[in-house]
Amino acid sequence: MSETPNLDRTDRRILEALQRDARLPMRELASIAGAAPSTCSERVRRLESRGVITGFHTAVDLGALGRSVEAMVFTQVRPLSRDLIDQFHSDALAMPEVMAVFVLAGGDDFLLHVGVRDVAALHSFLVDNLSSRREVVQFRSSIVYGHGRKEALEDLTESSR
Amino acid sequence: MSETPNLDRTDRRILEALQRDARLPMRELASIAGAAPSTCSERVRRLESRGVITGFHTAVDLGALGRSVEAMVFTQVRPLSRDLIDQFHSDALAMPEVMAVFVLAGGDDFLLHVGVRDVAALHSFLVDNLSSRREVVQFRSSIVYGHGRKEALEDLTESSR
DNA sequence: GTTGAAAGCTGTTGAAT
DNA sequence: ATTCAACAGCTTTCAAC
């Protein structure tokens, strides 16, 4: 969204802290960022309006949501037109089992991150929702045994070093 | 974490709303969930202590963090021992470019979700951080052209239907 | 752009149901 | 376990630098 965000040290500290805890009180955030609470409040609001901060989300345990089995489904669709890609993208994301969709270049066309109740539900999903679609030429699924997500992404911009 | 979370309608409404906006005021959350603000407050706290809510996070635009290029890197490591898997998992997650790590079954062993400045940086990462490692037998990378994440994951438990 | 103090609002606490 | 009302604490506003 933003081309030259030009984040300064304060912004980067705010973003790092807020990625770890979106509900961090302004007072604490201020002491971490090294600024006054009112300044932080203003900074956060500007980061939102600039499109740097895109949202505040709550992470939920997948097991608690009846999604103990996770899998990555690599999918090829044909013909590879813009319309078909967009259509499949939104269709896939609308499926209850699909948690995220990635459009890839080379090899497979899509990567679907799915979360389901058990292996039987995964099989049902593959057979009923993917095999049945005419545009789906091929797919292959891998069970996810574990995953790790970085708590806070650092700014890799040169100027920030 | 929790085996029988047994989420009721109120819990599910709270989780859905909070996944979309972790900073939703208790008053609004209460009206959405159909309960008193104090009840919501208690519910949220219990969901946290039960391990259903695992965190509150802020989403940041990848371009703003100097990560305009995203890629999925499928990696095979050998020998496939528990120790080596755990080691590579934590090593990979410690790399600045790596945003998430998935341990897969079948085909490839790992899937690395990376975010870098440009294609040159991706190449550097592959050559310097992966090729150079002795345990890495093979890898293949796909540029991510786009992605979509579900705003709120619904509960797929039978009893919740 | 930043700060400090006042104002307004929000979240939580406790007694009662 | 939930609710209402009062409190305490916070965030935000605004004038000043």
pLDDT digits (tens, 9 = 90+) for A110-131: 999 999 999 999 999 999 999 9
How high is the pLDDT of residue B159? 74
CATH code where residue A43 lies: 1.10.10.10
Number of domains into which chain B is organized = 2
Looking at the structure, do residues A84 and A118 belong to the same domain, yes or no? Answer: yes
CB nearest B150 (choices: A3, A93, A153): A93
pLDDT band at B61 (very low <50, low <70, confident <90, very high): very high
Give the number of beta-carbon pairs within 8 Å between A and B. 228
Q: Domain for residue B47, yes or no?
A: yes
| CB-CB neighbors (< 8 A) of B57 in chain A | 19-22, 56-59
* Residue A36 dihedral angles phi and psi, to the nearest 5°: -75, 150
A66: nearest CB among B1, B115, B156:
B156
- The predicted pLDDT at position A160 comes to 75
pLDDT at B27: 98
In the three-class reduction of DSSP (H, G, I as helix; E, B as strand; rest coil), residue B29 is classed as helix
Q: Do B97 and B43 fall within a single domain?
A: no
For residues A54-64, give the mean pLDDT.
98
DSSP code for B47: H
- pLDDT, residue B2, reads 44
Give pLDDT tens digits for B95-119: 999 999 999 998 889 999 999 999 9
Asked whether residue A32 falls in the same domain as residue A101, the answer is: no
Residues B140 and B116 in one domain: yes
Q: Assign A35 to helix, strand or coil.
A: coil
Q: With an 8 Å Cβ cutoff, is A157 touching chain B?
A: yes
Residues A31, A73, single domain; the answer is no
CA-CA-CA-CA torsion for A52, B125, B111, A105, nearest 10 degrees?
80
Chain B positions touching A142 (Cβ under 8 A) are: 104-108, 111
What is the pLDDT confidence band of residue B4, given thresholds at 50, 70 and 90? Answer: low
CATH of residue A116's domain is 3.30.70.920
Mean pLDDT across chain A:
95
* Owner of token pair 């500007």: A46
Q: Structural domain of residue B26, as residue ranges?
A: 9-58
Among A143, A149, A148, smallest CA distance to A69 is for A143
Q: Phi and psi dihedrals of B98, rounded to 5?
A: -80, 125
CA–C1' gap, A26 and D10, in angstroms? 8
Interhelix angle A37-49/A26-33, rounded to 10 degrees, is 90
| pLDDT at B113 (0 to 100) | 98
List chain C nucleotides near protein: any atom < 7 Å from a Cβ: 1-5, 10-14
Do A126 and A78 reside in the same domain of the chain? yes
Q: What is the pLDDT of residue B64?
A: 98
